[in-house]
Structure 1
Amino acid sequence: MISIKVFSDYVCPYCLLSEQVLARAIAGKDVSVEWMPFELRPYPAPTLRPEGEYLQTTWAQSVYPMAAALNVPVVLPKVSPQPHTHLAFEGYQFAKEQDQGEAYTHRMFTAFFQEEQDIGDVDVLTRLATEVGLDAEAFRAALTNRTYREQHQRALRQAAQLGISAVPSFVIGNKLVRGLPREEDLARLIDAEMRG
């Protein structure tokens, strides 16, 4: 079995798309996937506004066409400014301990990019966590008390040590792949790694 780490941010539309591309590329293969946090704009840095020219242009010229080609429903969320994701990622650490990390990650992506929910809000995060089977009270307490703050910071330091500077980024065995590869290219890299 080979291990794949996927570094992503919940407010990166290419990371949502990478989830689909990866799922197709690993179908039927003996791999383990671990989602890893990377904050594009860590608090207190300002985040992007969906009404701004940058996001409007990027989505019109790149995100929407790519999502259509992959048949992935997606919408530019109207949440403005975009949420910081440190609390959502601290929630991920909680979910990972309960073996729900992958389901939680998927729910963050769909909540933000398909339902336009504010994933920077503790109430929203708690409701979403219960949808993947996590205990609401324990989850809320973990976020409120910042129980997983250091665990999340450790994961961010690991990303820095690996030279991760953009998302999505994949670590397949010991190879680093930046950006969103095509499904067939990703599958080829995984197959090569499996052959050793």
Structure 2
Amino acid sequence: MTIKIKAYSDFICPFCFLGKGPLDEIVKEKDVEVEWMPFELRPSPYSKIDPWQEPEKLSSWDSFILPAAKKLGIEMRLPRISPHPYTHLAFEGYQFAKEHGKGNEYHHRVFAAFFQEEQNIEDIEVLTKLADEVDLSKDAFKEALVSRKYREVHQEALRHAYEEAQIMAVPTFVIGEEVIQGLTSKERLAQVIDQELEKNKTNEFDGMQCSINGRNKKCQ
């Protein structure tokens, strides 16, 4: 049975990028389906983040983020893009990719472009190039971003994250009724997935019955 995981993240969140590592490993080992869910840490028109001008953030990068990346075997760097980009266009592009069956591929490519290649993921030309690299139509993708075709779809996804799912920080992973907040290990993810599998096995026969008129065809 396929276990579904909802992963809430933002493309400029370093811990979200690190969280992809253990999740990618789990995908290789277990029957899971990951759905990436948009979450904007600093939506427009809030002020953009500029870590290069904030000593506290630079210190956190050196003290926590880089050591965690090294431990997980993940290559990443603090992008020299000042200030860091808004992500609404990248997420609107994700909605296009998702509709065309390339959501996870696009999501991974945008993450890598920002944290490994220091590309500006607010730039439509950059996003269009990334979409092309995962075999999406360049022209259709660019037209969708220029026209803001997926703006409402993305806003509804954000409303779901903020109001319905009540996500307060990212990354957040939702597996069944279990909510895991923050960077987590592959072992922790595997444990929750296995618990969900066992729960589903336990409930497999719940509700089966015979009716007085024999309407259940499985009854004699």
Residue 74 of structure 2 is aligned with which of 69, 72, 75? 72
Counterpart CA distance in 2 for 1:31 and 1:173 is: 12
| Deviation of the 1:27 alpha carbon | 2.9
Counterpart CA distance in 2 for 1:106 and 1:145 is: 24
Matched, 1:118 2:150: no
Contact 1:50 1:77 in 2 (8 A): no
TM-score calculated relative to the size of structure 2: 0.87
- Identity value in percent: 51
Unaligned runs of 5+ residues in structure 1 are: none
**CA deviation digits over 1:15-53, x for unaligned, max 9?**
111111112234321111100100000001012113121
Contact 1:3 1:172 in 2 (8 A): yes
- Give the match's secondary structure for 1:27: helix
Counterpart CA distance in 2 for 1:140 and 1:93 is: 13
Contact 2:50 2:84 in 1 (8 A): yes
TM-score calculated relative to the size of structure 1: 0.97
Unaligned runs of 5+ residues in structure 2 are: 200-220
- Look up the equivalent residue of 1:167 and give its one-letter code: V
Contact 2:27 2:33 in 1 (8 A): no
Counterpart CA distance in 1 for 2:120 and 2:87 is: 10
Counterpart CA distance in 2 for 1:138 and 1:126 is: 9
- Look up the equivalent residue of 2:9 and give its one-letter code: S
Residue 185 of structure 2 is aligned with which of 170, 182, 185? 182
Counterpart CA distance in 2 for 1:116 and 1:75 is: 8
| Deviation of the 1:187 alpha carbon | 1.0
Counterpart CA distance in 2 for 1:24 and 1:117 is: 25
Residue aligning to 1:39: 40
Contact 2:97 2:106 in 1 (8 A): yes
- Give the match's secondary structure for 2:85: coil
Counterpart CA distance in 2 for 1:26 and 1:143 is: 30
- Work out which of the two has the higher radius of gyration on C-alpha atoms and give 1 or 2: 2
| Deviation of the 1:118 alpha carbon | 0.3
RMSD of Structure 2 on Structure 1 (CA)? 0.9
Q: How many residues align?
A: 196
Residue aligning to 2:144: 142
